[in-house]
């Protein structure tokens, strides 16, 4: 009787072990990863304006700029003049002022506009002011303003 009881107990234990699942995880993790490449671009549209030098200009819009930069710390816009903020014809020069959003001044040096955050499709106009004068020397005057963008 003891032998058949032991056999029955062993059989019952084997049946319970077979019915119970093996030690298994009840959850797991999947990591999601990705990255965004830093990108700063600028689109500059020259409006092809002819300036009235003798009569002067006041805040005349000469260009339109679209800024896009996804840098989390923001970015800088820099304006620079090829002729140090002067329209030139040979040795003759006419000073002018530029305005870009809330900043204005001459471009004897670079003008820097700081953006504190990322911006997407931000539009701004470049405006020019030239004092009127009947004493400008005759000639074809020109300068080139370069607008650049860079992440901070």
Total of domains in the chain: 1
Domain assignment present for 70 = yes
Give the model's pLDDT for residue 5. 45
Task: Tell me the helix, strand and coil percentages in the chain, rounded to 5.
Answer: 10, 45, 45
Domain assignment present for 22 = no
Give residue 71's domain range.
40-151
CA distances from 3 to 7, 9, 13, 16 (A): 6, 10, 15, 20
Provide the CA 108 distance to its chain's centre, in angstroms. Answer: 25
Cross-strand bridge partners of residue 68: 41, 120
Output the domain CATH number for residue 97. 2.60.40
Ordered per-residue pLDDT tens for the chain, 152 residues: 445 544 444 444 455 445 555 678 899 999 999 999 999 999 999 999 999 999 999 999 999 999 999 999 999 999 999 999 999 999 999 999 999 999 999 999 999 999 999 999 999 999 999 999 999 999 999 999 999 999 99
């Amino acid at each position: 009787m003891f032998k058949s009881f032991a056999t029955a107990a062993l059989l019952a234990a084997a049946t319970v072990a077979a019915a119970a699942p093996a030690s298994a995880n009840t959850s797991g993790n999947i990591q999601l990863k990705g990255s965004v490449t830093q990108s700063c671009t600028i689109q500059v549209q020259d409006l092809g304006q002819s300036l009235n030098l003798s009569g002067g200009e006041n805040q005349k819009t000469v260009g339109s700029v679209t800024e896009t930069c996804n840098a989390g710390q923001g970015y800088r816009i820099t304006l620079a003049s090829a002729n140090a903020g002067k329209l030139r014809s040979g040795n003759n020069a006419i000073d002018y002022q530029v305005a870009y959003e809330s900043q204005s001044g001459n471009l004897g040096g670079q003008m820097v506009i700081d953006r504190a955050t990322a911006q997407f499709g931000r539009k701004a106009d470049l405006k020019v002011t030239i004092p009127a004068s009947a004493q400008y020397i005759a000639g074809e005057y020109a300068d080139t303003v370069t607008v650049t963008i860079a992440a901070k």
